[in-house]
Structure 1
């Protein structure tokens, strides 16, 4: 199985003559004051106005303008200064990742020219994606041990994908879809109790189907049918509900271009 890299790949970029990595926890009482910057491909970054740190956010359902009126993500403008509320946990990467955002409020409507200084940085972090590259998936969860958020790349299984190549010709690629119980290379997640997990795709699918199998079926070439698991969609992410120990999860994402399967295994922490 082919494993994709972390959703925001750790890269080294020279910024103002120094290379740095975001690795900090914010308090939940005080929001982060940041500048919003984005490009035409709907990629975006936040720039902490106190520290200068660069990070990405998982957009919340609740986004407010400076008058407190609810707006959509598309209504945020380059250069806006916003207050970002959430659980305060920043994932360790560069740029940082803040998946636990609960609310964003516009404090000041900045000018597009204010964000121009960051355009080159945005282009470096989000280079144009190869149309032949399949979407990838990361699983984000919070452990009760130390309350640390973690992001784990899901293993990739079968797929069927089409894209427009050079010269405008439509290309099609496909990979064998073997049962997830028979995958040789699959990601392991350790949890202490039943929990919800965020499924973070780099390109949000139109639909997902999640099926759970008992981990005891690993190695079975023709396993019994699994049970479909409840999910919720919130903006550009999906929430996988009630993830349990000793289970194997198969996620099928469906896009206009085709479908891709992903999987991960859940075990419990050794309590001995």
Structure 2
């Protein structure tokens, strides 16, 4: 009789332990799933806030390398992050250099200095998405030259 009572207590104890492990395990994976969802939302937010820019060499005599925001058409300078430049597939590019016409996405705090051209000191990541053709580059080059050199096509026509 005592043996059966001990066996029943043992089985009940095992069942209770399994239920506890199931609840703890389930809540753990639920927490992991919620965190993954938050990470995806944060990544989507950062992607939406990234600045799409084109890297141009502007200026008459002293050439200056600047970025032109492809959406707002503003000119700014920015340093390449210490960790380097990524390609479309989020792999680090060897060489850490940009060339005239490179199209990039710039991630950071979006705080620019109020200077001419503006400075963007809060960059956290830079991703090279491709290179613009000469036709695509031309309007952005004109925007940068107008700001840095003070000349525009309208003044040249006068």
Tell me the TM-score normalized by structure 1: 0.31
> SS of the counterpart of 2:53?
strand
Alignment correspondent of 1:83: 105
- Distance of aligned partners of 1:96 and 1:79 in 2 relative to their CA distance in 1, 3 Å threshold: same
- Which residue is 1:37 aligned to? 56
Partner residue of 2:76 out of 44, 48, 55: 55
More helix by share: 2
**Secondary structure at the residue paired with 1:125?**
helix
Please identify the structure whose Cα radius of gyration is greater: 2
Asked if the contact 1:84–1:101 (Cα under 8 Å) also holds between the matched residues in 2, the reply is yes
Q: TM-score, length-normalised on structure 2?
A: 0.51
Task: Output one character per residue of 1:10-53: Cα deviation in whole Å (capped at 9) or x when no partner.
Answer: xxxxxxxxxxxxxxxxxx83211111112697731111122111
Match of 1:102 in 2: 124
1:93-242 matches, within 5 Å, as 93-119=115-141, 121-122=144-145, 125=148
Q: Which fold has the larger relative contact order, with Cα–Cα distance below 8 Å and residues 6 or more apart in sequence?
A: 2
Instruction: Report Cα offsets for 1:185-216 as digits up to 9, x if no partner.
Output: xxxxxxxxxxxxxxxxxxxxxxxxxxxxxxxx
Q: Is the partner of 2:138 in helix, strand or coil?
A: helix
1:73/1:114 Cα in 2 relative to 1: closer, same or farther (>3 Å)?
farther
Q: Which runs of 5+ in 2 are unaligned?
A: 1-44, 150-158
1:80: how far off? 2.2
Aligned to 2:114: 92
**Number of residue equivalences:** 99
Where in structure 1 do 4 or more consecutive aligned residues deviate above 6 Å? none
- Cα distance in structure 2, aligned partners of 1:58 and 1:68: 19
SS in 2 for 1:45: strand
Asked whether the 8 Å contact 1:58–1:100 carries over to 2, the reply is: no
Counterparts in 2 of 1:81 and 1:95: CA distance versus 1, 3 Å: same
- Partner of 1:34, secondary structure, is strand
Structure 1 contact 68–105 (Cα < 8 Å) conserved: yes
Equivalent-residue separation in structure 2 for 1:98 and 1:84 (angstroms): 10
Q: Is the 8 A contact 2:66 2:75 kept in 1?
A: yes
Which structure's residues are more often strand, by fraction?
1
Gaps of 5+ in 1: 1-27, 127-272
Distance in 2, matches of 1:50 and 1:42, equals 23
Superposed CA deviations along residues 138-194 of structure 1, whole A, max 9, x for unmatched, are: xxxxxxxxxxxxxxxxxxxxxxxxxxxxxxxxxxxxxxxxxxxxxxxxxxxxxxxxx
